């Protein structure tokens, strides 16, 4: 476990060194010629000059950073995952007993609804149509009134020929 903490300490120090070294370096083409494509000494595809001290430190710290990252990920997967339930010892507490529930009162009996067959529906429909043919004055214009409700009043024509409700 001591080696794990030592690697973590090295990793943190290398992180800070890497941040500082990258921030201290000047960008490629930082002069005015770099804005217009000039400054060919440190361009991506141009000629390279000798590596500066900061670029060497950046490369070294990046390599150390990658190595410590790989080591830390390898060490962290070796530890076995345990559940909190595995580490606790004891028995499960019994549930508190509650008073038995009283039986529910039976609901009011439901009115039986007769399910009509398609033949019975057709027969009722024919009876209604026959009654409407016998008494055309009593047949509602467009809508049948629901039971217990009045049909909407029919439109009446006034003397001027305008319909009023």
More confident residue, 51 or 24: 24
pLDDT reading at 5 higher than 80: yes
Number of DSSP helices (H) and strands (E) in the chain, helices first: 5, 2
The domain limits of the chain are 1-25+58-76
pLDDT at residue 76, rounded to an integer: 81
Q: What is the pLDDT of residues 55-100, one digit of tens each?
A: 899 999 999 999 999 999 988 876 566 667 776 666 666 666 666 6
What's the mean per-residue pLDDT of the chain?
Answer: 74
**What pLDDT sits at residue 46?**
46
First to last CA, the chain: 94
C-alpha span between 14 and 6 (Å, rounded)? 12
How many other C-beta atoms lie within 10 A of the C-beta of residue 40? Answer: 12
Using DSSP, state whether 144 is helix, strand or coil: coil
Structure tokens at 45: 């595809």
Query: Does the pLDDT value for residue 20 go beyond 60?
Result: yes
Q: How far is CA 72 from CA 12, 18, 75, 86, 122, in A?
A: 12, 18, 5, 26, 82
Q: Looking at per-residue confidence, does 76 or 156 come out higher?
A: 76
> At residue 15, does pLDDT exceed 60?
yes
Pairing relationship of beta strands 163-164 and 156-157 according to DSSP bridges = antiparallel
Q: How confident is the model at residue 116 (pLDDT cuts 50, 70, 90)?
A: confident
Query: Tokens for 102?
Result: 């009283």
Owner of token pair 């794990």: 4
Check pLDDT > 70 for residue 120: yes
C-alpha 28/C-alpha 19 separation (Å) is 18
| Across 2-6, 13-17, 143-147, least confident range | 143-147
What is the reported pLDDT for 114? 80
pLDDT, position 45: 45
- Using the structure block, give the residue that is written with the tokens 């001027």: 160
């Amino acid at each position: 476990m001591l080696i794990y903490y030592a690697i973590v300490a090295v990793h943190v120090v290398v992180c800070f060194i890497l941040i500082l070294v990258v921030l201290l370096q000047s960008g490629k083409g930082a002069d005015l010629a770099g804005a217009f494509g000039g400054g060919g000494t440190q361009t991506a595809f141009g000629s390279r000059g000798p590596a500066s001290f900061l670029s060497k430190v950046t490369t070294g710290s990046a390599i150390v950073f990658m190595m410590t990252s790989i080591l830390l990920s390898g060490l962290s997967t070796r530890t076995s995952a345990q559940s909190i339930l595995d580490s606790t010892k004891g028995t499960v507490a019994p549930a508190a007993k509650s008073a038995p529930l009283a039986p529910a009162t039976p609901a009011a009996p439901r009115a039986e609804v007769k399910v009509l067959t398609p033949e019975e529906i057709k027969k009722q429909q024919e009876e209604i149509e026959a009654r409407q043919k016998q008494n055309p004055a009593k047949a509602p214009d467009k809508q049948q009134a629901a039971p217990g409700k009045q049909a909407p009043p029919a439109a009446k024509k006034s003397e001027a020929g305008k319909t009023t409700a």
